[in-house]
């Protein structure tokens, strides 16, 4: 068991949506601000090896929790497949190699549900990660993140580098990214429905057929799973972090429209991709190894996310 309160910790992506939740939790675990370092991209470009070396020189970490990623929804993945592969591969490659060189106590890597095969049996089990190719629109991102699983396994066996690997499903919650160019499905749909409600629009057009399913995890629950992995794990065994409810996108839109008070018509554009047909995770390993399971009820978390967005935009129900 690693007592994080007495470690110097770097959280890459610590200023982002998930990172802020992880940093809040680390502070609650007793990590003081002078032991917690959050690198900013303007100061440290983690795709550049010399910047990563300088980060380790500056922060002198005992533990690195790697959350930083270049990622977006289906549209962003289709528009930037090369960049998403390069950036995520380069960040992981440099951070793990310099962790090994510095004799880091532990490296925690946050993977992605996009690493699973396109037609993976439901529920996704960690042993199925290599049983097929990911869904095409997000494969470059998913493969890059998954390659670091293999790197950490190799570094554990050859160099003794202690590490942990978690695989979260789609996240949501207050503080999420609502940028239309890069947001994921829940914030994108909340924004669509809120904008339509405020404009009095008769319809909202959604991508795909609505038949694909997804599973969602509240950001604070994800943070708890990541911090538990940092405390408990030394071996890079992939561990799913899931929300426990698989929901068709068509039903999700109905829930979001209701949460926003939007009563117009939902129209589907089947010329746009659905993405992976189904997503739902088996979290048995997380329960067994970490003593973790999600706590936030989905409808409650969704309402909190809508309320947060309204506070940012000054809109009212």
- For residue 197, what is the domain's CATH number? 3.90.25.10
Residues 40 and 9 placed together within one structural domain of the fold: yes
On whether the CB atoms of residues 44 and 52 are closer than 8 A, the answer is yes
3-state secondary structure the chain: CCCHHHCCEEEECCCCHHHHHHHHHHHHCCCCHHHEECCCCCCCCCCCHHHHHHHHHHHCCCEEEECCCCCCCHHHHHHCHHHHHHHHHHHHHHHHHHHHHHCCCEEEEECCHHHCECCCCCCECHHHCCCCCECHHHHHHHHHHHHHHHHHHHHHHHHCCCEEEEEECEEECCCCCCCCCCCCHHHHHHHHHHHHHHHCCCEEEEECCCCCEEEEEEHHHHHHHHHHHHHHCCCCCEEEECCCCEEEHHHHHHHHHHHHCCCCEEEEECCCCCCCCCCCECCHHHHHHHCCCCCCCHHHHHHHHHHHHHHHHCCCC
Say how many domains are in the chain.
Answer: 2
Report the C-alpha gap between 149 and 239 in whole angstroms.
11
Q: Could you say which of 56, 116, 133, 141 is catalytic?
A: 141
Pick from 296, 317, 274, 305: which is nearest to 190 by CA? 305
Residue 127 counted as domain residue: yes
For each of the chain's 317 residues, which pLDDT tens digit applies?
Answer: 899 999 999 999 999 999 999 999 999 999 999 999 999 999 999 999 999 999 999 999 999 999 999 987 778 888 999 999 999 999 999 999 999 999 999 999 999 999 999 999 999 999 999 999 999 999 999 999 999 999 999 999 999 999 999 999 999 999 999 998 888 899 999 999 999 999 999 999 999 999 999 999 999 999 999 999 999 999 999 999 999 889 999 999 999 999 999 999 999 999 998 888 888 999 999 999 999 999 999 999 999 999 999 999 998 87
- For residue 15, what is the domain's CATH number? 3.40.50.720
Is there a catalytic annotation at residue 159? no
Q: How many CB atoms lie within 10 A of CB 271?
A: 7
Quote the domain boundaries for residue 269.
Answer: 185-211+247-276+307-313
On whether the CB atoms of residues 209 and 275 are closer than 8 A, the answer is no
Residue 12 counted as domain residue: yes
Q: How far is CA 313 from the centre of its chain?
A: 24
Q: How many CB atoms lie within 10 A of CB 297?
A: 13
Phi, psi of 242 (to 5 degrees): -125, 165
Residue 10 counted as domain residue: yes
Q: Residue 72: what pLDDT?
A: 79
Pick from 219, 114, 233: which is nearest to 164 by CA? 233
Residue 179 counted as domain residue: no
Residues 145 and 193 placed together within one structural domain of the fold: no
Residues 228 and 79 placed together within one structural domain of the fold: yes
Q: How far is CA 230 from the centre of its chain?
A: 16
Residues 125 and 233 placed together within one structural domain of the fold: yes
């Amino acid at each position: 068991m690693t007592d994080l309160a007495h470690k110097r910790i770097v959280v890459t992506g610590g200023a982002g949506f998930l990172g802020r939740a992880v940093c809040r939790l680390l502070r609650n675990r007793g990590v003081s601000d002078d032991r917690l370092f959050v690198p900013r991209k303007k100061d440290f470009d983690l795709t550049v090896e010399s910047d990563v070396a300088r980060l380790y020189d500056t922060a002198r970490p005992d533990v690195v929790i790697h959350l930083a990623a270049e990622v977006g929804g289906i549209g962003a993945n289709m528009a930037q497949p090369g960049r998403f592969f390069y950036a995520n591969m380069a960040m992981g490659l440099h951070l793990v190699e310099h962790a090994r060189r510095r004799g880091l106590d532990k490296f925690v890597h946050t993977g992605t549900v996009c690493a699973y095969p396109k037609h993976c049996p439901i529920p996704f089990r960690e042993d199925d990660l290599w049983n097929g190719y990911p869904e095409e629109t997000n494969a470059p991102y998913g493969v890059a993140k998954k390659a670091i699983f293999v790197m950490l396994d190799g570094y554990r066996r050859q160099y003794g580098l202690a590490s942990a690997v978690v695989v979260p499903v789609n996240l949501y919650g207050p503080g999420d990214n609502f940028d239309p160019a890069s947001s994921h499905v829940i914030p994108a749909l909340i924004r669509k429905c809120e904008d339509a409600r405020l404009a009095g629009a008769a319809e909202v057009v959604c991508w795909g057929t609505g038949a694909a399913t997804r599973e969602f995890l509240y950001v604070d629950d994800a943070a708890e799973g990541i911090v538990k992995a940092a405390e408990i794990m030394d071996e890079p065994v992939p561990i799913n972090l899931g929300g426990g409810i698989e929901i068709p996108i068509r039903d999700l839109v109905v829930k979001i429209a209701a949460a926003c008070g939007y009563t117009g018509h939902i129209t589907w554009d089947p010329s746009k991709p659905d993405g992976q047909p189904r997503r739902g995770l088996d979290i048995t390993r997380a329960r067994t190894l970490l003593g973790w399971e999600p706590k936030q009820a989905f409808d409650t978390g969704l309402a909190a996310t809508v309320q947060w967005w309204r506070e940012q935009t000054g809109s009212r129900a």
